[in-house]
Amino acid sequence: MGSNPSKQKEKRSQSVAEVRILANGHVPPRRTVSTLSRVAEVSGREKRNPEEPVVEFPQEEYKDGKLGITSKDTILNYLDSVEDGELFCDPDFNADRFALFYSDRDASDFYWKRPVDLVEEWQTPQLMVDGVTRDDIKQGTLGDCWFLSACAAVSQKKEFMKKIVPSDQPLCGPGYKGVVHFRFWRFGDWVDVYIDDLLPTVNGKLVYGRCTEPQEFWVALIEKAYAKLHGSYEAIEGGQSMDALVDLTGGIPRLYEIQDKDPFLYRMIEKAQQKGAFITCSRKGNWKLSTKADPNGLVSGHAYTVTEVRKIKHVRGEDKLVRIRNPWGDNNEWKGSWSDSDVNWTWVDDQTKKEIGLQAKDDGEFWMSYRDFCKQFQEVTICQYGPDFDGDGVVDKFGCYACVKGRWECDKNAGGSRNDLQKFATNPQYILTLPEADDFDPQKDDPDLEGLCSIVISLMQEHRQSTRNVKVKKLQIGFFLYRTEDPTKKLSPQHFRYTPDSGKSGVYINYREVSQQFELEPGHYMLIPSTFHHNEAADYMIRVFGEKSFTLEGPLE
């Protein structure tokens, strides 16, 4: 039987909607738009990350965010005061137990050594050997696969790694002073993080992240710099890959929960990978109990890097494959269909194997079918370093960008959710003006997008560490868009009661950042960021990207 093009298009549109809903972690009941506008947010969502740290930090509000950040002038002045022959010792991140742990754990087996003391006499320690690659990374005993899998993803883009890991930093010989510096994106700005090169060891060996080459040290040192930003190594046990990807790129993250064998999600991953987006995936489970792989070779509660997707033609047909890397970088690899030495590869010609770089090595990287991928992994994170307007996983060029920072203050503008419309109306209200529709090409573009403006909106709550032993409280956040005819006046509680929203981020959730894309008619829109609970104080940042010029003003008084 022949296929019906209109039905195919309808099915694809439904798939897009389902993926976006799942990305926000919530599937609302089927209601009309008019009914939705009158339904209160009964509850927000506390998302517990499977890679939770062993010991919980106490929590408090964000303070100054300067933890781990020291100005270049301060470092240079410090180095000028160091006598000849002495090496830099970081006064802000001393090589002691407190740099390792925030909890009361025994550190008597740990000794701090510099790279020059960790190589053979005939070897020369280097920050990087022949550049940076994903194959460099080997995870140690620290549960920070969420960070290392992000490093592996970003390592495939040289321009980003050059920004994050400045070259020409000797670890011995002329010009060596024992100091190394990295750059991370923190709440809208690139910041420099300086550390000394003393690294934690046990029995003379690096115990945490390291490079596969014994004379290369960028992995161990970037991990230390990231730990400094969080207060200790223990503080980066457990986290979300999408946060690490943003810290490394300043990009826009989207988290997708895998539901069955979704062909649209595969296409989105494929196109995102082709255009250079950064992709990770994770398995649910308790990482604290997973010191070894399951019988199938995969590790529960663990984050991996998606390094390639490919459709493979062979004598029996065609298969969709995904290549994945375990940050452990060892023989803990997938043991099922399409694994390194699987019989399926006998169906594939030698030229194809060569093109995809097939190797039977115990390096943590492996292929698997997309069908098995959907069965074994539960989440995919795609981080674009520019907005993806049409939802196809491809980074689109954008003509306009706006960023504003603000603060929810108790008894002033921290109005909480729509459960109480009087209070909700006190939240900050920004005017987003879209003067004209995007350019439309009837030969390439979806007819449903004609006359609309493609916009990507991201809301991030301030979540940088302020002190070493207290975490910044992570609130349930979200945002709404309402059409308005008067861009000079704030919207009233009555407006929210009787007028449907034009878009929203989804259910309130305790992520550091929530983002969503919209296709809107030209006009004026009120953009309202809020926390779920009333009177929760926090700093926030809104980023908006558009194909055509727009304005973002406010908040209105």
- Catalytic (active-site) positions: 145, 302, 326
Per DSSP, the chain holds a count of helices (H) and strands (E) of 13, 24
* 121: Cβ contacts below 8 Å, ≥ 6 apart: none
Q: What 3-state DSSP class applies to 222?
A: helix
Q: For 61, phi and psi rounded to 5 degrees?
A: -75, 155
Q: Is 288 helix (H, G, I), strand (E, B) or coil?
A: helix
Q: Report the alpha-carbon distance of residue 226 to residue 239 in Å, rounded.
A: 12
| Extended beta strands in 365-446, E state | 365-369, 379-384, 400-408, 430-434
**What tokens were used for 248?**
């490394």
| CB contact set of 246 (below 8 Å; sequence gap of 6+) | 185, 252, 253, 383, 512, 513
Positive or negative, the CA dihedral 487, 488, 491, 492 is: negative
Number of other CB atoms surrounding residue 443 within 10 Å:
4
What own/partner pairs with CB < 8 Å and gap ≥ 24 does 440-447 have? 446/390
C-alpha torsion sign, points 239, 242, 243, 247: positive
- Host H or E run for residue 112: strand 110-113
Tally Cβ neighbours within 10 Å of residue 165.
23
Q: Which of 442, 434, 436, 453 is nearest to 390 (CA)?
A: 453
What type of residue is 372? Answer: D
Token pair listed for 205:
């060996």
Q: 98: which 2 tokens?
A: 């407190």
Q: Are the CB atoms for 478 and 459 separated by under 8 Å?
A: yes
User: Which residues lie closer than 8 Å to 80 by C-beta, 6 or more apart?
Assistant: none
Other Cβ atoms less than 10 A from the Cβ of 439: the count is 9
Counting Cβ atoms within 10 Å, is residue 44 exposed (0-12), middle (13-18) or buried (19+)? Answer: buried
- Strand 199-202 versus strand 59-60 pairing type: unpaired
- The three-class DSSP label of residue 338 is coil
